[in-house]
Amino acid sequence: MTTDDGRRTTDHRPQTTNYGRQAVRAGWGVAPTFEPNLPRRKVMGMVWEGVALLAILLGIAMLLTLLVKVFVDGLPYLRPQLFTEFPSRFPDKAGLRSALQGSIWLMVMTALLSFPLGVGAGIYLEEFAPKNALTRFIEINVANLAGVPSIIYGLLGLGLFVRGLGLGRSLLAGVLTMTLVILPIIIVSTREALRAVPASIREAALALGASRWEMVRDHVLVYSMGGILTGMILALSRAIGETAPLITIGALTYIAFDLRGPLDIFTVLPIQIFNWVSMPQEAFHRLAAAGIIVLLALLLTMNALAIWLRNRLQKRW
């Protein structure tokens, strides 16, 4: 090896390199004329630290610009009417009552439906399923489904729920479609939460004569509930911002009446915001900003809920 190569090799080593080590290395015959060049390496370190800092600052600056713009535009419109009034052609009277109802109903029903399905599937795959080619195939597909664009689910929902089951453009069709969107995410996160429970716990339960289901119910599930709920609420946070699949299944744009039930037609916050953004009048754009703040608040609340639940339910083994 040449001197040059030798120096490059030593450059990879941690900075603790000192002359003593170098002497040892010289003894190996790797780098007979090693120069530490400490000042240059320190400069390089600082340069890279700067580049990394710039990368994070750029992201934060973008986010701040966005937030500041949204808040400056939207705050004047963040008033009680925004929550109590229906959309209107006059921005001063317009609110997102129907959209907020739609979003909250959609979230609650999607949560009720996707929790048992997603967690159940996760538990089966992780704790009960035999490890064979079929389950491996299912596992790979579930993981892939988590990355499928949501509009594809919208098309599926349109064919299956809206037309196939004859649910029409109802909230229920929206709930079922949204459940499909987030199920893979819930399954994957449930499995990760279950996997985090050490095997010794399972073995201890089984050794004391618990059946497999008792072991899962009384031990594994209890210890992993914090993680499962976190994944669940993060999945719901994704669902609340989704527009594409709901537009595909025919969620409406203008609704000026209260939601009556799961089979009623509906709209959601992102659709209302999108509609306001595309209006010609500047005032509607500000109204849209106010809508974005409400959506953000809802999202942050759900995330806060996730953190709170995790801290509350997390049990140590």
Partner 1 sequence: MSRKLLLSISFIVLLAVIAACQPAPTPGPTPTPQVAVTVVREVVEVTPTPGPVEGTILVDGSSTVAPITMAVAEEFQKLYPQVRVPVGISGTGGGFKKFCAGETDISNASRPIKKSEVEACAQNKMEYIELPVAFDGLAVMVNPANDFVTCLTVEELKKIWEPDAEGKITNWSQVRAGFPDRPLTLYGPGVDSGTFDYFTEAIVGKAQASRGDFLPSEDDNVLVQGIAGDPNALGFFGLAYYEENKDKLKLVAIDAGDGKCVYPTLETVVNGTYRPLSRPLFIYVNRARADEKDEIDLFVKYYLENAKTLVLDVGYIPLTDEIYSLAMQRYEKRIVGSVFKGGGPQVGVTLADLLKAEQ
Could you tell me if 247 and 271 are in contact, meaning their C-beta atoms sit under 8 angstroms apart? yes
**In the set 48, 128, 213, 308, which binds partner 1 (CB under 8 A)?**
308
Query: In angstroms, rounded to a whole number, what is the distance separating the alpha carbons of residues 276 and 88?
Result: 10
Query: In angstroms, rounded to a whole number, what is the distance separating the alpha carbons of residues 222 and 209?
Result: 18
**In the set 222, 285, 313, 314, which binds partner 1 (CB under 8 A)?**
285
* DSSP-assigned beta bridge partners for residue 170: 265
SS3 label, residue 51: helix
**Residue 175: both structure tokens together:** 């709930």
275 binds partner 1 (CB under 8 A): yes
Nearer to partner 1, 54 or 300 (CB): 300
State the nearest-atom distance from the C-beta of 195 to partner 1, in Å. 25
Q: Which listed range, 55-63, 96-104, 110-118, 178-186, lies at the site for partner 1 (CB under 8 A)?
A: 96-104
Whole-angstrom Cα Rg for the chain: 28
Could you tell me if 317 and 201 are in contact, meaning their C-beta atoms sit under 8 angstroms apart? yes
Residues that bind partner 1 (rule: CB under 8 A) add up to a total of 46
297 binds partner 1 (CB under 8 A): yes
165 binds partner 1 (CB under 8 A): no
**Of residues 210-269, those binding partner 1 (CB under 8 A):** 250-258, 265, 267
Nearer to partner 1, 228 or 251 (CB): 251
**In the set 100, 107, 171, 183, which binds partner 1 (CB under 8 A)?**
100
Query: In angstroms, rounded to a whole number, what is the distance separating the alpha carbons of residues 107 and 201?
Result: 34
CA nearest 106: which of 179, 51, 43? 179
**Of residues 65-94, those binding partner 1 (CB under 8 A):** 80-81, 83-90, 93
